[in-house]
Amino acid sequence: MTDRLTWLGPVAATAATGVLCAITAAVTVGGTDSEYAWLEATARALMVAAPILVGLYARRHPPFERFGILLVGAGALWFLTTLSGSRDEVAYSAGRVAAWLAEIAIVYLVLAYPSGRVAGVDRWIVGAVALAVGVLFLPTALLVDHFPAPAVYMSCDADCPANAFMVVSTEPALVEDVLRPLREVLIVALFAIAVVRLLWRVEHASRLLRRLLAPVVLAAILRLAALAFGLTSRAIDPQATATQISGWVIALALPAFAFAFLAGLVRWRLFIAGAMERLAARVRAQHGPEHLRDALADAFRDPTLDVVYWLGNGQGGHWATSAGAPIDLAAAWPERSVTEVPDGGRRVAAILHDPALRADQAFIQSATSYAVMTFENHRLSVQSAALLNEVHESRARIQAAADGERRRIEHDLHDGAQQRLVTLRIKLELAAERSEQLNGTSAELLRGLGNEVEEALDELRSLARGIYPAPLARGLVEALRSAALQGALPITVLATGVGRYSAEIETAAYFCCLEAMQNAAKHAQGATATVVDLFDNGALLFEVRDDGPGFDPATVTRGVGFTSMHDRVAAVGGKLEIDSVPGRGTRVAATIPLPTGALGARAAGAASPRAPRA
């Protein structure tokens, strides 16, 4: 049912417009002696159809709905003016009176465009026109036997019908000598004031409003020139061709106004469509709140557009700028329109924009939706970043706890089991010396046990060094060089500008390099050498390269070793990558950011930072 009403209304209005145009054409053809009767009928039908159809179009768009209703009403009034082409005295007289009322409608439409409302100075101008028509025009309909000819909306000249509304026996001389010239000069002057006011509005309007007003200004200037010329020409020579032409120009200015209104509306719709496309492109770019103002200002071509934020809960807060400074919207932007941005029933922001955008639902919906989406994305991004930071901190704490436990175990092995084994080895040696004089076999057995204790001690020392490298106490580079001496492959350790860092950073870098060195020894069959390269350029960068056969990373399952390297580097905020090509060796590289004031300044006199060798 709703869908049927949606299209039934416009269809009925269009049909009614067709009936009015048909009546206008019939009246015009029946009342004219011109050989171009149908051309004249078509022109007068256009005077009726143009404003009504444009008004129906404007009513479909909320910003111009009120103006559309006024335009439809003006079209109906202009239909009455075309009755002045009739040969019937009553219809003719009604059409002439309606033509005077049309002057009020024209001025009102020009000044009310595009909102459909007049205020301030505009209201005074419309009131002055209405007063002039009410005092100098309408009363004369009761005093004259014939209306002035020729006129704008009529086809007759000297043979026009008499005035059907005359109530006096003779026409007062005051009407012809005083009222008629006075009212004609006054009506031209008032319309000129309306045009000047329109020009002033254009001069002081924003770029957005000028899109709407520019076509109307041209039509208004054209009608003012034609009106002034036509009335002057009629006063000089009513029968002159110029008088007839100017009358038609004045008459056709009515559909010209309608088309000017339409041009402004179409320009506006095209502008809004383009703005929506520009805004959609910005949405795809996923800008944050700091870009919200620029995105909206650019999309809707409003450089004065701004965004303020609501700080607080409910009605207990206040508006603030993006910098957090409190602000009074009414005092700061008295000539701006304010569109609040709600989110779930609570106010979060407000958009200050050109008043021309105030009633455009496309702007309101798209701008507020984009703002809410931006705030929501920002909120989710902040939450995700916080969660990710918690994960990083948790990983760092776990890694630090693991390294601490390594150090504790290494310390316990060194000071506990290792010392006990050393003591046991000494006691076995002493026992062997004492028993040698009594029983050589027992002495030999005790020395054998001592050798086994020595082997156990060596294994324990090796295990302790693997749990936590003691050379790290002398720095990362020294620890790696110490490990390189025990490698299965020849290993070269290069370092540029590398100093001392926090225990977490040095431990992560050491074990990552150690794992890469061991992987090269285990898996790089045929490799002849391994290079460990470290340098500091504000971040600690290191890489381990071998000249082995390489492999295809896409076909190799990443095992515990790679996972351990990745986790260690990530725990200190770094990034690890493995680069390998079959036949060209393998490269394990990592970058670890260094916090300001990292433990151990860069080595004094170190060489300039350089990039790792390929």
Q: For residues 482 and 501, what is the distance between their CA atoms, to the nearest angstrom?
A: 18
pLDDT less than 50: residues of the chain? 1-5, 598-614
Domain boundaries, the chain: 2-271, 287-386, 399-467, 475-593
* Residue 612, SS3 per DSSP: coil
Are 136 and 182 spatial neighbours (Cβ–Cβ below 8 Å)?
Answer: yes
Q: Could you check whether the bond before residue 150 is cis, i.e. omega within 30 degrees of 0?
A: yes
Are 527 and 551 spatial neighbours (Cβ–Cβ below 8 Å)?
Answer: no
Residue 395 is predicted with a pLDDT of 61
Q: For residues 570 and 38, what is the distance between their CA atoms, to the nearest angstrom?
A: 87
The label of the residue with tokens 């054998």 reads: 448
Are 208 and 198 spatial neighbours (Cβ–Cβ below 8 Å)?
Answer: no
Which one, of 314, 296, 405, lies nearest residue 354 by Cα?
296
Query: Which amino acid is residue 491, in one-letter code?
Result: I
CATH of domain 2-271: 1.20.1070
Q: For residues 1 and 148, what is the distance between their CA atoms, to the nearest angstrom?
A: 52
Are 587 and 548 spatial neighbours (Cβ–Cβ below 8 Å)?
Answer: no
Are 83 and 92 spatial neighbours (Cβ–Cβ below 8 Å)?
Answer: yes
* Residue 309, SS3 per DSSP: strand
Helices and strands: H and E segment counts in the chain: 17, 9
The CATH homologous superfamily to which domain 475-593 belongs is Histidine kinase-like ATPase, C-terminal domain (3.30.565.10)
CA atoms within 13 A on the CB side of 586: 25
Q: For residues 52 and 322, what is the distance between their CA atoms, to the nearest angstrom?
A: 47
Q: For residues 172 and 166, what is the distance between their CA atoms, to the nearest angstrom?
A: 12
Chain centroid offset of residue 359 CA: 19
Which one, of 62, 60, 64, lies nearest residue 14 by Cα?
60
What phi, psi does 493 have (nearest 5°)? -110, 120
What phi, psi does 183 have (nearest 5°)? -70, -30
Strand partners, 14: none
Strand partners, 494: 533
536-560 per-position pLDDT tens digit? 888 999 999 988 888 877 777 777 7
Residue 610 is predicted with a pLDDT of 38
Which one, of 299, 268, 275, lies nearest residue 63 by Cα?
268
Residue 295 is predicted with a pLDDT of 80
CA atoms within 13 A on the CB side of 590: 30
* Type and span of the H or E element at 353: strand 346-353
260-275 per-position pLDDT tens digit? 888 888 887 888 888 8
Q: For residues 78 and 266, what is the distance between their CA atoms, to the nearest angstrom?
A: 24
